[in-house]
Structure 1
Amino acid sequence: MIRPASWSGLWKKRRLWIGLGFGLLIAGASFRLLAQNPAHEEDSPAIAQTGEATPVTLVAAELTTIQEGFKATGTVIATEMLPVTAQATGLQIQTILVDEGQSVLGGQVLARLNGSLLQAQLTQAQASVAQAEARVAELRAGSRPEELNRAEEGVKIATAGVAQAQSDLELIQKRVQRNQTLEAEGAIARDRLDEILNQARIQEANLQQAKARLAEAQSQLTQLRQGPRTEVITQAEAQLQQARGQVQLIVAQLQQTQVIAPASGTIATRNARIGAMSNASEPLFTIIQGGQLELELMIPETQLREVQPGQVVQITAENNPDLSLNGQVRTINPVVNDQSRQATVNVMLPANSSLKPGMFLQGEIITRNTQGITIPTAALLPATGQQAAVFVLQGESRVRRQTVTVGELLGGDRVEIVEGLNPGDRIVLDGAPYLKDGEQVAVQS
Structure 2
Amino acid sequence: MSSALSWTWIEPNRGSDSFEPLSASVRRKRVQVMTDISILARSNNKPAASPGESRTAVPMPARKWRTRVALPAVILLAIGGLIAYGARDALLPTIDVQVLPVVVKSSSDVGATMVGGSVTVQAPGWVEADPFYTYVGALTDGILDEVLVLEGQPVKKGQVVARMNAAEAKLTLERAEAELRHHSEEVKAAEARLVAAQATWDNPTERTRAVAASEAALAEAKAELAKIAKEVVAEESREEELAAEYQRTQRLVKSGAVTELEEIRAKKRLAAQAAMVEATKAREPVQQAKIRQLEAEVKAAQENLRLRIEETKELAEMKVALQVAHNLVAEARVDRDMAALRLDRMNVTSPVDGVVMSRIKRPGDALMFSSNMPDATQILRVYDPKALQVRVDVPLSEAAQVGVGMKAQVIVGVLPDKVFEGEVTRVVHEADIQKNTLQVKVRIINPTPEVKPEMLTRVKFLSDGKVMANANGADSHSQRVFAPEHLIRKNGPHGAAWVVDQGKSIATERHVMTGHAKKDGWVEVTEGLKPGDLLVATSVEKMREGQKVRITGEASK
Structure with the greater alpha carbon radius of gyration: 2
The TM-score normalised by the length of structure 2 is: 0.37
Q: Write 1 or 2 for the structure with the bigger share of strand.
A: 1
The TM-score normalised by the length of structure 1 is: 0.45
